[in-house]
């Protein structure tokens, strides 16, 4: 769907092509044809070719307004707080276990040294 001069024009994809940057034959105007071609670079990050997506006009009409609510983009705060709380508890437990293990290792090493070895 494209909005031109406050009119909605709808296109249906009929051709997808991958071409070299110097190939322009696919972009020529055709008599009595109403095409819209979108062009982008491909493959992503390399950009050695061009991806062409062509569509033909399927009709015009008044603009149709689509309402997207803000709730569609929100995450429930109770779920987020629960996840963060659980992660913090796990990190705290790991820290306590590491400290306990280090103390046990130190106690074990000190118990092995006898005071009579001097």
Per-residue pLDDT of the chain in tens (118 residues, 90 and over written 9) = 677 777 788 888 999 999 999 999 988 999 999 899 999 999 888 899 999 999 998 877 666 666 766 665 667 788 889 999 999 999 999 999 999 998 888 877 666 665 555 5
12 shares a domain with 34: yes
In-domain check, residue 25: yes
Name 11's bridge partners.
57
Give the structural domain span for 88.
Answer: 71-110
In-domain check, residue 106: yes
Residue with tokens 């006898």: 114
Residue with tokens 């796990």: 90
d(CA 106, CA 103): 5
In-domain check, residue 117: no
The number of distinct structural domains making up the chain is 2
CB 55 within 8 A of CB 35: yes
49: left (phi over 0), alpha (psi -120 to 50) or beta: beta
- The DSSP letter of residue 98 is H
């Amino acid at each position: 769907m494209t909005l031109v001069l406050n009119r909605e024009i709808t296109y249906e994809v009929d051709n997808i092509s991958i071409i070299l940057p110097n190939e322009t034959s696919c972009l020529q105007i055709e008599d009595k044809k109403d095409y819209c071609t979108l062009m982008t670079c491909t493959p992503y990050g390399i950009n050695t070719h061009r991806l062409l997506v062509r569509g033909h006009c399927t009709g015009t009409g008044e603009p149709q307004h689509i309402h997207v609510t803000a709730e569609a983009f929100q995450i429930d705060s109770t779920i987020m707080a629960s996840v963060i709380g659980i992660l913090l508890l796990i990190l705290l437990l790991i820290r306590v276990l590491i400290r306990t293990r280090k103390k046990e290792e130190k106690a074990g090493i000190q118990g092995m040294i006898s005071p009579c070895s001097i």
